[in-house]
């Protein structure tokens, strides 16, 4: 598997290897190295075949048998040719622009995190031996994702809103509060990395006072910033300390779609 540690022992002395001239090594030698990592393109192909990607992948020639371990392992380093196609037409252009075949970006990181969370691996987007082995095992057993693909877009332009897509359809469109000027919600795209049904959030306000707020339906996406329910008199304006706050009913509807690896894009 990629990045696996390998040790090769070459014995010396009279019982060891001999050169063409009959010479021997005075003592044994152990050479240690790691196998190179696999292809990002093959990683993306496998994530499509396992239904974690919003893009399908079709090989240009006869597909490799899912249970052919030798051929599947070889493809990790030399991916076959093929074509990626968006499964649904309803995805916004901002998401489509994130897709870069053959390049590890936040788009691919989110897919990996979703797979890791489903298969008992730590959802950090890291590509290592356990990830490759688990993906090939899932492919061989036909264990594919059944939860679909999700995407969230937070717009800081007034009136502020959060929109959530599932399999190319808008499933939540809610007024939202983002960070105040002294503690803004950062622009960018970030995968959900922690989910909690409820939590007492503690911290310090810009004025120095402490807070301890019980919030619900929490999906962290950037350090201490999360999408969650927060009781407010109104929504749609900057009120938080970096989080994206939603009304209770909308937070409850959005939370199931804010799974591990779901991309949260913040614009404005």
Which tens digit of pLDDT belongs to each residue from 121-161? 999 999 999 999 999 999 999 999 999 999 999 999 999 99
105 and 157 in a common domain: no
**Per-residue pLDDT at 192:** 98
- Residue, of 161 and 208, whose pLDDT is higher: 161
| Residue 176 and residue 132 in one domain | no
SS3 184: coil
Q: In this structure, are 114 and 157 located in the same domain?
A: no
Q: Are residues 137 and 163 in the same domain?
A: no
Same domain, 178 and 237: yes
User: With 0-12 CB in 10 A as exposed, 13-18 as middle and 19+ as buried, what is 138?
Assistant: buried
Cα dist from 186 to 99, 197, 243, 248, whole Å: 21, 23, 9, 23
* Cis status of the peptide bond prior to 57, with omega within 30 of 0: no
Is residue 261 within 8 Å of 148, Cβ to Cβ? no
Average pLDDT value over all residues in the chain = 94
- Do residues 9 and 89 both lie within one domain? no
> Which position has the higher pLDDT, 151 or 207?
151
**Both 12 and 60 in a single domain?**
no
CATH number for position 237: 2.40.440.10
Q: Which residues have CB under 8 Å from 53's CB, separation 6+?
A: 44, 47, 111, 149
- Predicted confidence at residue 111, as pLDDT, reads 98
Question: What is the count of structural domains for the chain?
Answer: 3
Q: What is the pLDDT of residues 19-52, one digit of tens each?
A: 787 787 778 777 785 778 899 999 999 999 999 9
Indicate whether 21 and 47 sit together in one domain.
Answer: no
Is residue 180 domain-shared with residue 216, that is, in the same domain? Answer: yes
pLDDT value, residue 33: 55
Q: What is the DSSP letter of 22?
A: S
207 is in which domain, residue-wise? Answer: 150-267
Position 61 scores a pLDDT of 94
Instruction: Write down the pLDDT at residue 8.
Output: 79
pLDDT score for 172:
98
Same domain, 126 and 203: no
Residues 93 and 49 in one domain: yes
Q: Could you report the per-residue pLDDT of 74-127, keeping only the tens digit for each?
A: 999 999 999 999 999 999 999 999 999 999 999 999 999 999 999 999 999 999
């Amino acid at each position: 598997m990629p990045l696996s540690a390998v040790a090769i022992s070459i014995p010396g002395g009279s019982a060891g290897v001999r050169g063409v001239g009959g010479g021997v090594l005075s003592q044994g030698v152990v050479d240690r190295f790691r196998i190179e990592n696999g292809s990002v393109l093959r990683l993306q192909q496998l994530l499509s075949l396992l239904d974690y990607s919003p893009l399908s992948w079709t090989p240009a020639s006869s597909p490799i048998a899912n249970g052919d371990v030798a051929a599947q392992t070889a493809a990790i380093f030399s991916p076959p040719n093929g074509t990626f196609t968006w499964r649904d037409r309803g995805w916004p252009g901002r998401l489509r622009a994130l897709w870069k075949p053959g390049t590890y970006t936040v788009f691919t990181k989110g897919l990996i995190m979703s797979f890791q969370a489903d298969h008992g691996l730590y959802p950090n987007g890291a590509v290592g031996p356990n990830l490759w082995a688990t993906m090939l095992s899932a492919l061989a057993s036909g264990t594919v994702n059944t939860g679909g693909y999700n995407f969230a877009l937070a717009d800081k332009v007034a009136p502020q809103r959060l929109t959530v897509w599932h399999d190319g359809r808008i499933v939540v469109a809610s007024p939202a509060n983002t960070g105040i000027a002294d503690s803004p919600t950062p622009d960018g795209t970030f995968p959900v990395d922690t989910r909690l049904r409820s939590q007492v959030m503690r911290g310090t306000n810009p004025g120095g006072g402490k807070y301890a707020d019980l919030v619900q339906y929490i999906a962290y996406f950037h350090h201490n910033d999360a999408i969650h329910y927060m009781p407010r008199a109104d929504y749609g304006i900057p009120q938080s300390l970096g989080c994206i706050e939603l009304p209770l009913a909308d937070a409850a509807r959005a939370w199931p779609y804010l799974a591990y690896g779901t991309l949260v894009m913040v614009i404005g």
